[in-house]
Amino acid sequence: MNETTGNSGWFDGPDPGDTETAAAAVREGHAEQSHDWPTEAVESGFAEDRAAYYDQLHEATMAATRAAVRERERADDQQLVHAVRAMDDCRGQANELAERVAEWAGSRFADAGTGIESCRQLAARETADAADRRVVSLARRVVALDEEADELRSFVETTAPEVAPNLAALAGPVLAARLVALAGGLEPLAKKPSGTVQVLGAEDALFAHLRGQAPSPKHGVIYTHEAVQGAHPSDRGSAARALAGKLAIAARIDHYSGDLRPELEEDLTERIATIHARGDGDE
């Protein structure tokens, strides 16, 4: 447990019952050496007895934990995680509901189509029939969800380069945000080896491989990167490894220093060009 600076306990300063100040002392303090803190707390008059000391210590540490969680959840990388997950949820729900609208609208309107654009056309209709109104209302909800996804994407595209400049430069803002989200934050991503970064998003395939039911996946969500998609099928594993290696380095730089390193993108571009040229020569 952290104590206050020097040889004083966390209870030296806060009044009994002042949980907020005590929590700050627990979070920020430290002691140069260990002491019999319960005895000192009782002798100083902070607690009536050892049991009371531990009760107040429990309250202080719980409050410190809650404060740390709130602080972590408000961190920029966590806001990016929430945003990209919300964007994907909105897009997924919009597409799923669009299918329901298409099925329902097909029974009501002769010219009904499918997809989000069809919902946009339906949303502009004015109708007096009760069932038609419900179809149109649902179509409007689909459009609203799709537009919210667009707004969230704009937020991600603006925020990712601020949170992880090198990762966003190499992967693009949205893929960078997805990698951060899959890892649970920028710090966890920065601590992952490149081989793990390479297969983030392919957990199901990886577990199937570990059970002996499928081959080892060559890539996860980084497959959406043009460096991997643009490679010859036989070279996609090499492209994925090269990309993951640079992304792992970028995440570490973003977390530990935060300065933009243009040479990372230049090195990746050169390496991917070499891989693509090898594939072009095979065709």
Domain 75-163 in CATH 1.10.10? The answer is no
Tell me how far apart the alpha carbons of residues 177 and 83 are, in angstroms, rounded to a whole number. 9
Q: Could you tell me the pLDDT band of residue 58, with boundaries at 50, 70 and 90?
A: confident
**Mean pLDDT confidence for 187-192:** 96
Burial of 265 (0-12, 13-18, 19+ CB in 10 A): middle
What CATH fold (topology level) applies to the domain 164-283? Serum Albumin; Chain A, Domain 1 (1.10.246)
The whole-angstrom separation of Cα 206 and Cα 218 is 9
The answer to whether the CB of 37 falls within 8 A of the CB of 9 is yes
- What is residue 1's predicted lDDT score, i.e. its pLDDT? 42
> Average per-residue pLDDT in the chain?
87
Write down the pLDDT at residue 72. Answer: 58
pLDDT band at residue 3, thresholds of 50, 70 and 90? very low
Query: How far from chain centre, in Å, is Cα 115?
Result: 28
Q: Which residue did the predictor score with more confidence, 267 or 37? A: 267
Q: State mean pLDDT over 157-170.
A: 96
Q: What's residue 61's pLDDT?
A: 80
> What pLDDT digit, counting tens, does each position of 106-142 carry?
999 999 999 999 999 999 999 999 999 999 999 999 9
Rounded Cα distance, 2 and 29, in Å? 6
Six token digits for residue 220: 């996860």
- What's the mean pLDDT in 249-273? 93
- Over residues 152-160, the mean pLDDT reads 97
Question: 167 CB contacts (<8 Å, ≥6 apart)?
Answer: 160, 176, 179, 180, 189, 247, 250, 251, 254
Domain ranges within the chain, ordered by starting residue: 19-73, 75-163, 164-283
Return the pLDDT at 251. Answer: 96
Task: Tell me what pLDDT residue 5 has.
Answer: 45
Token reading at 77: 């990388």
What sign results for the dihedral spanned by CA atoms 38, 40, 41, 47? positive
**CA 260 – CA 74 distance, rounded (Å):** 23
